[in-house]
Amino acid sequence: MERTLYREIKATRRVWELAAILLGFIAAALGVFFYVEHHGHIVTGMNNQIVWGLPHVFAIFLIVAASGALNVASVASVFDQQVYKPMARLSALLAMALLIGGLAILVLDLGRPDRIIVAATTYNFSSIFAWNLILYSGFLAITGAYLLVQMSVGMPYWIVRKVGLLAFVWRLALTTGTGSIFGWLVARPGYDAAIMAPLFIAMSFAFGLAAFILVTVTLCHLSGRVFGPLLMQRMGRLLAIFVAAVLYFTAVRHLTNLYSAEHAGFERFALVDGGIFTTLFWLGQVAIGGIVPLLVIFHPSFGKTPAAPVVASVLVVLGGLAQVYVIVIGGQAYPMELFPGYEVTSGFGDGSVASYRPSLPELLLGLGGVAIALFATGFGAKILRILPTSLSDANVGQKR
């Protein structure tokens, strides 16, 4: 086992080209922000029924993935797995960057982003949204401290481990809070389920690790650094466990709803008659984001190649976006039961499935948040000693 050395990535031509592309998406998102602020949300696909649109899908995906991206550092420090310790710094940096990117989307989508000052200074502790604001701020502070103690020369290991344990517990609380936003909305049949909290924790593990694999492979490729094939294979198998956990909790959620008469209508909508939502669930979430990645990772020949975890990670990200879209948009599209036990008729569209078509400004705003997260990660790797000079199998204690 060789000594792990950390070095900044060099500003090569490929690095500048990728940075320019990311800055272009960020500039487009800022342009969309001013456009929507001037004309109002009428220029988006959102309406009175669908108040959380495509930007919120990207934002929630990034926030959930931020918690999971810290998993590599947690496994290294809290569970003392030597294999993952060289990647712990990048894990913490990526976690903070993903959360910042997700929160940036939410702030830009407010219409009046200056009102974030009210939310930051006035707390309604009976609101899950207020609790999440505290969880997000605390996550950034604790993860930043975690990264600082990891990079400090001569820092006692027990301090690193204690701060890592605090970060691990806080990230579980953060994802629980995000899932509880939907689990506690009892008025909507598509949300009302206590299992949403553990489901979101499993989703964070899968989405975050997939994002970490893709970012690490990209940074190693741009800087000409080695990523050991056995290490890659090991991370792919860990990703498979998380993907299987997401499929398990998803199955439990829908089976539980099918057992409950009050959710039978939504389950038929989501699983059979939901149109695009049913397609995204079975094809996007279950197939592309679940079953196919498992087949790729455990394929007898292709699964042993370094490309398998990368392909699986791309599929998990795509399936994850589909899953969040079905949860967020599908849960709003299904009509609420305004007066249980009574029949309501009006010309406003009560009892009908809400229509929603994402617009280009929404897509650009969402992609802008992703670009902010990726640019922040790359910038951090450029100015800080975050990435090891080598992630070869020898460097991480692997044996062939």
Q: What is the pLDDT of residue 3?
A: 66
Domain that residue 232 falls in: 13-336+348-382
Q: What is the pLDDT of residue 1?
A: 44
DSSP 8-state class, residue 50 = -
How far apart (Å, rounded) are the C-alpha atoms in residues 357 and 320? 19
- DSSP assignment of 150-189 equals HHSTT--HHHHHHHHHHHHHHHHHHHHHHHHHHHT-TTST
Provide the pLDDT confidence category of residue 398 given band limits of 50, 70 and 90. Answer: very low
Q: What is the pLDDT of residue 400?
A: 35
Q: What is the pLDDT of residue 37?
A: 84
How far apart (Å, rounded) are the C-alpha atoms in residues 111 and 293? 38
pLDDT top residue among 397 and 246: 246
- What average pLDDT does this structure show over 280-290? 95
Q: Which two tokens stand for residue 298?
A: 């455990």
Angle at 12 between CA 8 and CA 16, to 5 degrees: 100
- What average pLDDT does this structure show over 248-265? 88
Provide the pLDDT confidence category of residue 399 given band limits of 50, 70 and 90. Answer: very low
Count of beta carbons in the 10 Å neighbourhood of residue 342: 7
Residue 388 covered by a domain: no
Give the model confidence (pLDDT) of 39-50 as tens digits: 888 888 888 888
Provide the pLDDT confidence category of residue 285 given band limits of 50, 70 and 90. Answer: very high
- What average pLDDT does this structure show over 202-222? 95
Q: What is the pLDDT of residue 169?
A: 93
How far apart (Å, rounded) are the C-alpha atoms in residues 220 and 136? 29
**H/E stretch holding 388:** none
pLDDT top residue among 396 and 303: 303
Residue 6 bridge partners (DSSP): 388
pLDDT top residue among 53 and 354: 53
Number of domains in the chain: 1
Q: Does the structure show a pLDDT above 90 at 192?
A: no
Q: Which two tokens stand for residue 191?
A: 């949300």
Q: What is the pLDDT of residue 79?
A: 84
Q: What is the pLDDT of residue 346?
A: 64
Residue 2 covered by a domain: no
Nearest to 57 by CA among 44, 69, 48: 44
- Residue corresponding to tokens 């495509």: 54
- Residue corresponding to tokens 């049913």: 278
Residue 388 bridge partners (DSSP): 6
Residue 8 covered by a domain: no
How far apart (Å, rounded) are the C-alpha atoms in residues 91 and 208? 9
Provide the pLDDT confidence category of residue 165 given band limits of 50, 70 and 90. Answer: very high
Q: Which two tokens stand for residue 264?
A: 């039978």
What are the Cα distances from residue 302, in Å, to 127, 143, 159, 289? 48, 36, 41, 18
Report pTM: 0.92
Residue 387 covered by a domain: no
- What average pLDDT does this structure show over 323-344? 82
Q: Determine whether 69 is exposed, middle or buried from the number of CB atoms within 10 Å of its CB (0-12, 13-18, 19+).
A: buried
Residue 395 covered by a domain: no
CB 344 within 8 A of CB 350: yes
DSSP collapsed to 3 states, 219-288 = HHHHHCCCECHHHHHHHHHHHHHHHHHHHHHHHHHHHHHHHCHHHHHHHHHHHHHCCHHHHHHHHHHHHH
Nearest to 84 by CA among 98, 72, 92: 72
pLDDT top residue among 223 and 261: 223
| Mean model confidence pLDDT for the chain | 88
Residue 296 covered by a domain: yes
Q: Which two tokens stand for residue 383?
A: 């100015």
Residue 353 covered by a domain: yes
Give the model confidence (pLDDT) of 62-118 as tens digits: 999 999 999 899 888 888 788 888 899 999 999 999 999 999 998 887 766 677 777
CATH for 375:
1.20.1630.10
